[in-house]
């Protein structure tokens, strides 16, 4: 069972708990200090990050502290 409050990976069809926050910005749509956040599990950090990095959108990747 998936807990409703536990944040999940943003990858399509993935329900793994998020452990990374990918912070990105599309200069064509966003002001420079704005950050969109995608959440990723360990498996998808590279694929989601690579997608953003390829487009020059990725700004930083930080551990997502779901458990505090």
Residues that bind Zn ion (CB under 5 A): 9, 11, 14, 16, 41, 44
Q: Please identify, using beta-carbon distances, which residue of 2 and 29 lies nearer to Zn ion.
A: 2
Residue in this structure with the two tokens 């950090």, named with its chain if needed: 45
Are the C-beta atoms of residues 67 and 17 closer than 8 Å to each other? no
DSSP state of 45: H
Shortest approach of Zn ion to residue 64 CB, angstroms? 12
Q: Please identify, using beta-carbon distances, which residue of 40 and 57 lies nearer to Zn ion.
A: 40
Q: Please identify, using beta-carbon distances, which residue of 8 and 36 lies nearer to Zn ion.
A: 8
């Amino acid at each position: 069972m998936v807990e409703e409050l536990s944040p999940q990976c943003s990858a399509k069809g993935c329900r793994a708990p998020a452990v990374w926050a990918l912070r990105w910005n599309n200069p064509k749509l966003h002001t420079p200090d704005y950050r969109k956040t995608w959440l990723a599990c360990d498996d998808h950090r590279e694929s989601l990050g690579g997608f953003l990095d390829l487009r020059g959108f990725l700004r930083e990747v930080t551990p997502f502290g779901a458990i505090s």
